[in-house]
Amino acid sequence: MDSDEYKQKIREKKVINDTWTKGKLVQLAGAFYDQFVSGVVPHVLMPSRTKRNLEYSDTSEVWVYGDIESERSAKTVKGAHQLLKTVYVSDFVVSEHLKNNRGSTLRELYYISEGWGPAKFGAQTESDRLIEDLEIITGAQREFFHIRPEEDGATMYGPIQIREETKRGARDIHCQQDIGEGGYQIPFNVENIEFVKHDASMIIAVETGGMYARLIENGFDEKYNAILVHLKGQPARSTRRIIRRMNTELNIPVAVFTDGDPWSYRIFSSIAYGAIKSAHLSEFMATPDAKFLGVQPSDIVEYELATDKLTEQDIAALRSELTDPRFESKYWKEQINLQLEIGKKAEQQAFAGKGLDFVTDTYLPSRLKDMGIL
Amino acid sequence: MDSDEYKQKIREKKVINDTWTKGKLVQLAGAFYDQFVSGVVPHVLMPSRTKRNLEYSDTSEVWVYGDIESERSAKTVKGAHQLLKTVYVSDFVVSEHLKNNRGSTLRELYYISEGWGPAKFGAQTESDRLIEDLEIITGAQREFFHIRPEEDGATMYGPIQIREETKRGARDIHCQQDIGEGGYQIPFNVENIEFVKHDASMIIAVETGGMYARLIENGFDEKYNAILVHLKGQPARSTRRIIRRMNTELNIPVAVFTDGDPWSYRIFSSIAYGAIKSAHLSEFMATPDAKFLGVQPSDIVEYELATDKLTEQDIAALRSELTDPRFESKYWKEQINLQLEIGKKAEQQAFAGKGLDFVTDTYLPSRLKDMGIL
């Protein structure tokens, strides 16, 4: 685990480059080599990725893995295969991706292993999981291995000028003046982005494309100097990472605007606190400062929004959130209990029932004042 | 049905503007008025939207609705409600959208009807369907009503410079030089786009994000002057429309590159021939010139690609395609029968098993030569 070194670099704003990543992977290979030489069965220790091993970090204010460790070892045939695959992937990343400045998708990586004989993956879930292991072991992020997700595609729109370092050269893009109405397409690796200048006093992360388009059409980004980020449902890593970077590097407050149902509260919590599956990345991707804007269950009552009845799944999800440490605050307990009581949920686009301007003229300014952002 | 007038305008490259659209909607209201005045029960005739009423148009080379008509009439209470809703929606589009240069999503439209008393929609399926009816009746497209879809988000990348007329002014964007690695985000209404100049000799429409990123990384767009369009699975209307516009207005040939399975062949056919559900739009959205590039079942055999077994659903879908008029060619019969015989399917990213450059150095050039595009 080298995340301390990584965090130090981030603090010093030093670039995490291919040389650094290569060093980490070669170091891992070196460790196996040393184990062989000293007659030790090759193995690697890493934090156990279970709910039991999740703990709250007071310093970084996110949920991270604790001290329980699990071992990958060549003691068993299965374990030996696992380490062989780890070495094959490391070699591929170093000698193809980092050396030639190339990349592959997670899916391609699975197919690439076709030619690896006994190190061939049986299914993509296996190679995906190994990449996560490699992230944990090296303290790097898969983006540094030049491993891409299959689909991406979140966009942003607002008063910020960025410089994206692409393979074809640097691109200077102002996210209002230089782009079409669709917005700026966030690339899969946002470490390639430098923030040139901005005039933003808030970031509004928006769940649905419909509301994102509404805020742009109504000029909310101009009137309130807001950077609008379209989450497209459960946000991709790149989306969470760029939100965190703008929040921590530029000190811009973040408000998350979703539908008013338990699944949307999880979208908020993945932005604010991270996800169990990727707790090793929380310190790079979560934004503990992020605040939940709405739709709150209390808004459903106050604004008499058009609603749907909670389904059984909704109710079960709300109950599970009541025992989830990430929702362990007076605010969330009140809101979730209220929602269980009224038995209803509402979408953010339900504000359209009050006219096309209600959400930007009335609801958002009022909520942002409550939250101390306006 | 005014699609002849519309097509004439397209031929003359006249702008379809808000005034034209308003005229169509006012004309519809006028027809109802005249029916009332003359003591006729208000009604409107439109083509029946059934498979039975689909026919191949030799002139436009796409499947369109035939002569069977169905009637919406106030003879029944249900029919009267339907016409009332039609009038409410028309009024909203004219007096809110067109007058103030605004727009709404299909979802918002449903919520907006909250305030319409007896014209309130019971569910969004109902308002979506009514918008389709209005498209058929007026011969316009829902984009002209300023009605947006919920999500969009396809992107393109290649040697073309476009001018997008946004609400904040015109934006001149070169789709290689002025954008990041994510590509140019196609807006929901591509009629707002003007093609300024281009240097393209082909359009490659790509199903998966992984392959789209691969072609960009490998510089395929530069080497072959190719505009790459990411379809993101079943393509949105805006994606199909911009492909058609580039094909017909700029005379650039189109090749569709998907996975090798029956669902992907349907993606191809929706680009080339249109969809049953929206046959009234085929003449604006389909690209009869589009050719299927692959993955072909014969490629699976020839290149020994990594495969999955056909599922029962796959087999049923292939059998259904054998009787689908859109696949009624010697080529498709051979390919589909071959696939049923080998019992396998392959993804486009399976080419990665042959190295990261195989698809761009070997497969695509060879296929494009076969197809007469290279």
DSSP state, B97?
Answer: I
From chain B, the residues in CB contact with A105 under 8 A are: 209-210, 213-214, 349
pLDDT in tens, A212-249: 999 999 999 999 999 999 998 889 999 999 999 999 99
Cα(B29)–Cα(B75) distance, integer angstroms: 17
- Closest by CA to A73, choosing from A41, A34, A107, is A41
- Inter-chain CB pairs, A–B, below 8 Å: 169
Cα(A360)–Cα(B367) distance, integer angstroms: 52
Cα(B126)–Cα(A111) distance, integer angstroms: 44
| Residues B280 and B229: beta-carbon distance below 8 Å | no
Within the 227-246 window of chain A, which residues sit less than 8 Å (CB to CB) from chain B?
232
The residue-averaged pLDDT of B123-143 equals 92
Q: How sure is the predictor about B6, in pLDDT bands with cuts at 50, 70 and 90?
A: low
| Residues A279 and A245: beta-carbon distance below 8 Å | no
Cα(B304)–Cα(B300) distance, integer angstroms: 5
> Is B181's pLDDT higher than 70?
yes
* Helix H or strand E segment including A283: helix A282-285
> Is A14's pLDDT higher than 60?
no
Q: How sure is the predictor about A116, in pLDDT bands with cuts at 50, 70 and 90?
A: very high
> Is A13's pLDDT higher than 80?
no
Q: How sure is the predictor about A129, in pLDDT bands with cuts at 50, 70 and 90?
A: very high
8 Å CB contact of A352 and B166: no
The residue-averaged pLDDT of A285-290 equals 94
In single-letter form, the type of residue at position A95 comes to S
Cα(B318)–Cα(A152) distance, integer angstroms: 30
pLDDT for res B360: 97
Q: Is A39 helix (H, G, I), strand (E, B) or coil?
A: coil
Of the candidates A33, A56, A111, A212, the residue annotated as catalytic is A111
| Helix (H) and strand (E) counts in chain B | 16, 17
Q: Tokens 């969004």 appear where?
A: B124
8 Å CB contact of B183 and A180: no
Residue A312 CB neighbour total at 10 angstroms: 7
Give the minimum alpha-carbon distance from B112 to chain A in angstroms, rounded to a whole number: 4
- Bridge partners (DSSP) listed for residue B54: B65
Cα(B194)–Cα(B172) distance, integer angstroms: 9
The residue-averaged pLDDT of B135-142 equals 90
Percent of chain B with pLDDT over 90: 75
pLDDT for res B61: 79
- Closest by CA to A352, choosing from B104, B201, B207, B143, is B104
pLDDT for res B160: 98
> Is B175's pLDDT higher than 90?
yes
Cα(B23)–Cα(B27) distance, integer angstroms: 6
The residue-averaged pLDDT of A260-268 equals 96
Cα(B374)–Cα(B368) distance, integer angstroms: 5
Q: Is A13 helix (H, G, I), strand (E, B) or coil?
A: coil
pLDDT in tens, B285-323: 999 999 999 899 999 999 999 999 999 999 999 999 999
Strands B226-230 and B202-206, how do they pair?
parallel
State which residue of chain B sits closest to A154, comparing Cα positions: B153
- Name, in order, each residue with C-beta under 8 angstroms of B265's C-beta and a sequence gap of 6 or more: B258, B292, B321, B327, B332, B336
Q: Diameter of chain B by CA atoms? A: 74
Q: Provide the ipTM.
A: 0.89
Cα(A218)–Cα(B185) distance, integer angstroms: 20
Q: At what angle do helices A18-37 and A124-138 cross, to 10 degrees?
A: 90
| Residues B40 and B154: beta-carbon distance below 8 Å | no
State which residue of chain B sits closest to A148, comparing Cα positions: B210
pTM across the whole model: 0.91
Q: How sure is the predictor about A277, in pLDDT bands with cuts at 50, 70 and 90?
A: confident
In single-letter form, the type of residue at position A122 comes to G
Average predicted confidence (pLDDT) for chain A: 91
| Residues A43 and A71: beta-carbon distance below 8 Å | yes
Q: From residue A303, how far is each of A244, A338, A353, A373 by CA, in Å?
A: 31, 15, 10, 21
Structural tokens at position A215: 């805020």
Q: Diameter of chain A by CA atoms? A: 74
Cα(A8)–Cα(A25) distance, integer angstroms: 19
| Residues B65 and B279: beta-carbon distance below 8 Å | yes
- Bridge partners (DSSP) listed for residue B56: B63
> Is B153's pLDDT higher than 80?
no
pLDDT for res A8: 59
Cα end-to-end distance, chain B, whole Å: 40
From chain A, the residues in CB contact with B149 under 8 A are: 209
Triad B346, B351, B353: Cα angle to 5°: 105
